[in-house]
Structure 1
Amino acid sequence: MFETVDDVPRYVAEMFPVFIALAVAENGIRLLKGKSILRPNDTMASIGQGIFQECIRINIRSFEVFMYCIVWNNCRVLTLQWDSQITWWLCFFGVDLGFYIFHRISHEVNIIWSVHQAHHSAEDFTMISSLRQAAIQPFTAWFAYLPLALFIPPSIFLTHLQLSELYMIWIHTEVIDKLGPLEWVLNTPSHHRVHHGRNRKYIDKNYGGTLIIWDRLLGTFEPEDSAEPVAYGLVHPIQSYNPFYLQFHHMISIVNKIYNTNDWNERLCYIIKGPGWSPGKSRLGHLDDVPVIEHPVEYWSPSIPLWQNIYCISHFGLVLVFYHLLINNHKNFSQIAVSYCILILLFSITSIGFLLENRKYSLHFECFRCLSFLYFYSKFLPFVLTPDFDFNSLLFINKFFMLSFAFSASICAILIFIQTKPFVPIARHLYK
């Protein structure tokens, strides 16, 4: 146990190597079980969403803890001992119940669903998909934990918040079957597969975090049915790897619906009622509106040339290296340099998303991204160098971007040149 928030380790960051090892092992087990291995496009999209969220909260460790501390410092009615086992267990159950409450609300209130839905957009259900987080979800989840701030120290709350997050990584998998008696108490991979299903019988079920008892007590529990294989993703799947579209497309949909009606009551209902609501329907909409799943389920996965796949994977590796450099050194950077690093990261995962979608102007966008990084390298390098900074990694990335710009610009030039000539079919064949 820890007395202050600053004493609490960054468990999630420290467990990252273990998480990678688990993800690799999971992929190996999938292969042995005859399941499809991870799709590079969906995997990069999921990790990219995790990077998106971390970029949003890089300057504040946890918005939930920030709001929690405000209530603790100004409104608490009792100060429980930080090193008491009673405090520990009260916080464990309190955080888990708070997560259930927030999670259920995020599925039943449209404006909060517009944030949370990004997590459900993954169509591959793996431990990697647990990283596909809603970027601004911490700004919508904090209210569910505030009652605990009346008596439980922030350090204990932060500890349990992180442990809850770590627990929920391993339940995002298809390689672990039902776990016998544990299914009655714990949220297991089987229960969480149901939660991520878009089958009619699985909609809005199993909201629990670590425990499944809240769902059993409050009527939202549904066991996994072997006769009804789970189909993952959103009820109306979206065909995009663009991180901004994945995060905010439902918000745009809400705005459009509000704009297209003159009834203020309807406008309010589009915000506070369920995502399936429309005029004349119940608060959460009708299950009959949920499309029937046809098996085998075919997931969207656009075909791109092999060289383009290799290019995306190699650059995504650089994104991870650059992200690692930023996380480890951002406290020594100026705020302008940090902001520019964040822009480069978001720019990068967006450009890679366009390439994975095979967008018409994706290569032009990629050229601009490479130039932007080279500008960053020349403009901000003096502000980011510190005695312990890993300069060699940044130098390697810079050289790689120079080669990438030359490569992508050359491909663009060749395609533009060839497509203006009589042998357009040959150009198309070469590009495919």
Structure 2
Amino acid sequence: MELYAKALTFAIPFFLILIIIEEFAARKMKRQVNYGMDTISSLSSGMTNTLKNLMGLSIAIVSYGWMVDKVALFHIETTWLVYVVAFIGMDFVGYWSHRFDHKINAFWNRHIVHHSSEEFNLSCALRQSVSAIVGIYFFLYIPMAFLGVPAEVVAIVAPIHLFAQFWYHARLIGKMGFLEYILVTPSHHRVHHAINDVYLDKNLSQVFIFWDKLFGTFQEELAEEPPVYGVKKPVNTWNPLIINYTHMWALIMDAWRTKNWWDKARIWFMPTGWRPADVAEKYPWEYWKNAFDQVKYDSRPSKSLQVWSWVQLVVGFTMVFHVLVAFVSFQYLEVMLYSIFLMVSIFAYTSLMDKSKMAIPAEIIRFSLGMGLIYWNGGWFGLQEFLPGATLLVSVFFMLSLVLTFRFIATEGKKLKSVSIGTRHYLNFDS
């Protein structure tokens, strides 16, 4: 975990620099690819995933290290070739785990947050799950374990493979010639993030595109069919923690409401979007049947709320970076408490971005937790040792955040949704 924290202290600034470069390039090309609240939501989602990992909230049913010790048929020396084999093996695992996430009802909840943005840009690449806590795809690593690829090699290759999937979340880059036949390119991945019927569940590869061509899930980006991004059943919130569990909650409600006991059992493992017939008829889901009917979610924030949301993001990001930099010196309890506080913070300010009244109790909890941590620590996690007056500064920010939350909710009214009547359809699946 220390290695993970150290890697992120270098990777995160690099990602942010690329996002800023993308924004400058878009402006120079007179195009818009980033939209304030959506970008804040994406970056906040990235922070929740980082915090989940720092807290160690991941459970492996069977570890790769155990498998390679038990089933390896060969002993492979650690050479450059082993790293190549491991990278290709990780990509094979990535393709099939990605495919299962798209195809199985309960597993879609692990992945929906990544597709939830109705934009397509580098920041949306950071929409990563906090709901995928249990590692259920261990069986996909069996071929690598048979070959005897060492666990330490997999540990090094895994973050490299993950970071290699960032760059192609780009709208400004066109088709890339011969690379289109080898790698997943921005064109390929635009298809993957689209809700157009012709593009649904296509281009599931993560680095090498040949898996899609081999297993029949490839689709080229068509000039006559511009991609429309998001999910068919829109999430209508900026709150990444709500997004992470919105599909699971819908499945729980369907399982509860259906009168058919067989449907209660099988709903979790049916194809994504399947619903019991009795529930689908009585409680239809709203969705975009025609992608081009999509009206993007917009909570219509005032200029002052937008500015305050950016302030919240910067403060939250600074605190996450503080955890990463000081991770080695923190006790596990400190990491847990700091991370829980930041999770509550993200929930609070993204709820405020929605103009949801949930923002008020969330902000009260955040304020109470923050002041309690200052009292417990005698400061803000040692920050005052490097920045004199840090504790007072943090306390004032907590108070200001509490006051402004009440003000914004009082002055900006209820949560708004920019949905035009008549553009949505109702989703009814046959059993």
User: TM-score surpassing 0.5?
Assistant: yes
Q: Secondary structure at the match of 2:243?
A: helix
Deviation of the 1:72 alpha carbon: 2.8
Judge which range, 371-380 or 6-15, deviates more. 6-15
In the alignment, structure 1 residue 183 sits paired with structure 2 residue 180: yes
- 1:286 maps to which residue? none
- 1:116 maps to which residue? 111
Native 8 Å contact 2:54 2:335 kept in 1? no
Mapping for residues 222-371 of structure 1, pairs under 5 Å? 222-278=219-275, 291-294=289-292, 297-360=294-357, 362-363=359-360, 365-371=362-368
Q: Distance in 2 between matches of 1:145 and 1:240?
A: 36
Deviation of the 1:7 alpha carbon: 7.9
TM-score (norm 2): 0.84
Q: Secondary structure at the match of 1:168?
A: coil
- 1:164 maps to which residue? 161
- 2:17 maps to which residue? 21
Deviation of the 1:95 alpha carbon: 0.8
Deviation of the 1:31 alpha carbon: 1.7
Name the CA shift for 1:323/1:125 in 2 (closer, same or farther; >3 Å): same
Deviation of the 1:74 alpha carbon: 4.0
Q: Distance in 2 between matches of 1:318 and 1:117?
A: 27
Match of 2:40 among 15, 36, 44: 44
**Unpaired segments of 5 or more residues in structure 1?**
281-288, 416-426
Match of 2:49 among 47, 53, 56: 53
Native 8 Å contact 2:5 2:325 kept in 1? no
Native 8 Å contact 2:116 2:231 kept in 1? yes
Judge which range, 363-372 or 225-234, deviates more. 363-372
Native 8 Å contact 2:367 2:402 kept in 1? yes
Deviation of the 1:389 alpha carbon: 6.0
Q: Secondary structure at the match of 1:30?
A: helix
In the alignment, structure 1 residue 92 sits paired with structure 2 residue 87: yes
Native 8 Å contact 1:122 1:129 kept in 2? yes
Q: Distance in 2 between matches of 1:394 and 1:91?
A: 46
- The alignment of Structure 1 onto Structure 2 pairs a total of residues equal to 403
Q: Distance in 1 between matches of 2:3 and 2:404?
A: 48
**Unpaired segments of 5 or more residues in structure 2?**
278-286, 417-431
TM-score (norm 1): 0.84
Q: Distance in 1 between matches of 2:391 and 2:39?
A: 25
- 1:130 maps to which residue? 125
Deviation of the 1:212 alpha carbon: 0.4
Q: In structure 1, what residue type is equivalent to 2:104? A: V
Q: Distance in 2 between matches of 1:372 and 1:387?
A: 18
Q: In structure 2, what residue type is equivalent to 1:397? A: V
Q: Distance in 1 between matches of 2:314 and 2:28?
A: 26
Deviation of the 1:134 alpha carbon: 1.1
In the alignment, structure 1 residue 385 sits paired with structure 2 residue 382: yes
- 1:77 maps to which residue? 73
Q: Distance in 1 between matches of 2:229 and 2:184?
A: 18
Q: Distance in 2 between matches of 1:320 and 1:247?
A: 20
Name the CA shift for 1:396/1:136 in 2 (closer, same or farther; >3 Å): same
Native 8 Å contact 1:318 1:397 kept in 2? no
The CA deviation string for residues 24-60 of structure 1, in whole angstroms up to 9 with x for no partner, is 1111122222322422211111112111112222144
Native 8 Å contact 2:33 2:121 kept in 1? no
Q: In structure 2, what residue type is equivalent to 1:51? A: M
Name the CA shift for 1:394/1:190 in 2 (closer, same or farther; >3 Å): farther
More helix by proportion, 1 or 2? 1
Q: Secondary structure at the match of 2:134?
A: helix
Deviation of the 1:106 alpha carbon: 0.7
- 1:107 maps to which residue? 102
Native 8 Å contact 1:363 1:412 kept in 2? no
Native 8 Å contact 1:322 1:394 kept in 2? no
Native 8 Å contact 1:337 1:383 kept in 2? no
Report % sequence identity. Answer: 23
The CA deviation string for residues 142-161 of structure 1, in whole angstroms up to 9 with x for no partner, is 42334323411122212221
Name the CA shift for 1:262/1:147 in 2 (closer, same or farther; >3 Å): farther
Deviation of the 1:326 alpha carbon: 1.5
Deviation of the 1:12 alpha carbon: 4.5
